[in-house]
Amino acid sequence: MNPIDILILSNGPGEVTTWVRPVVKALRQQLGDDRSLVRISVVLSPCPNASGKEVAITQSYPEVDRVQSAEYFWTFLFTGKTADNWDWRSKGVVVFLGGDQIFPVIIGKKLGYRTVVYAEWDARWHSLIDYFAVMTTKLAQNVSPKYAHKFTVVGDLMLEAAEVQEKQEEDSSTKEIIGILPGSKAAKLTQGVPLTVGIAEYIHRKRPQTQFFIPVAPTLDLPTLASFADPDSNPLTKAFDFPGATLQGNILKTTTGLSVELKQENPAYEALSQCCICLTTVGANTAELGALGVPMIVLLPTQQLDAMRSWDGLPGLLANLPGIGSSFAKLINWWFLRRKGVLAWPNIWAQEEVVPELVGKLQPSEVGEMVLNLLENPEKLAAIRHKLRSVRGESGAAQKLATLVKKAAEY
């Protein structure tokens, strides 16, 4: 085998954790760990959802050899040169795992590499891309016959979590554990922390045997997370009648005495698989919970209408403009809430509301009552779990994608 470079293009925190992670593992499993033969590089492009820690997360993957941050992307795109003047081998493959699909076209041409695009909902530039790894057969159905050979259905990369654990029913039958996923960025945490921990307090008062934990995102440290539960640093706690909580070691302790454990294992699949239900915001986490078959209630509070600024493309840029961004965010969110369809990934897969989505000026007591009803009627949770498993599709997408990359490298 001649030495090759594999260049992965990605962008936001969701793509880095749920797409890049399983793919680089699968690539090393299939292509080996000899860095003199196979070198894996990751170049990040700008993303409105970026947390600023994508480089550190990607560098923590032992399969990856080098990472370039998004701030240097445009120079690389137009000149082909990285900030550290990386060398490139004569043979290689550009793998698209997030961003704009024109990027692998341009970079592949500059480097003289084959291109492989992972496509969830849309596949573009059919004549200019060498291979498409698509999520569903629908993406390949209307393709011109002369390009059909480029398309391979690999499945959903977000479902890789399904291979990790299949024991939640057994564990949930002996423990009553609720996972809390309030988000990873300030826009969501400002409302998500007081709302979800407030819900936990409400449930705990009526079912003291219930345990709660938060799987802390790798982009967050514990003091920062805890600050969103502090009324002095987060005035929005008042909107949820949440009296506050303080950090004690790895425990978030509320004024009423509830202890919420903060788990920093990443990914937290084993802990999440033991939950009877989770309280979560929208995002990639709903795909991971769906893949694990864990029932959830998806929360989108609107007490602060300009808080949700994590939009892709032009809406995200407008919502984050200095000074006037707040007005744009309110307008965009108002329009979105009037027109929204399903938001959670399991509901998108099924094209129906498999798991409840609650949008509006939510309060801990009303959501708490909904959770209590589910806990007191386990057959309802079992029905949700069964439906999640039926819509999650096939796993193994990362291995199929790695096989396609290996094929692309053989030229």
Each residue's pLDDT tens digit, 17-49: 889 999 999 999 999 999 999 999 999 999 877
Amino acid at position 224, single letter: T
Residue tagged 């294992």 (tokens): 265
Give the domains, in start order, of the chain with CATH numbers.
4-155+396-409 (3.40.50), 163-391 (3.40.50.2000)
Average pLDDT over residues 56-66: 95
In the three-class reduction of DSSP (H, G, I as helix; E, B as strand; rest coil), residue 377 is classed as coil
Does residue 343 or residue 405 have the better pLDDT?
405
pTM of the model: 0.70
Overall size of the chain counted in residues: 411
Instruction: For residues 157 and 271, give the distance between their C-alpha atoms in angstroms, rounded to a whole number.
Output: 20
Instruction: For residues 285 and 219, give the distance between their C-alpha atoms in angstroms, rounded to a whole number.
Output: 14
Which pLDDT tens digit goes with each residue over 131-179? Answer: 999 988 888 887 899 999 999 999 888 776 555 444 444 444 457 999 9
pLDDT at position 222 = 96
Contact (CB, 8 A) for 194 and 236? yes
Instruction: For residues 115 and 108, give the distance between their C-alpha atoms in angstroms, rounded to a whole number.
Output: 6
pLDDT at position 73 = 96
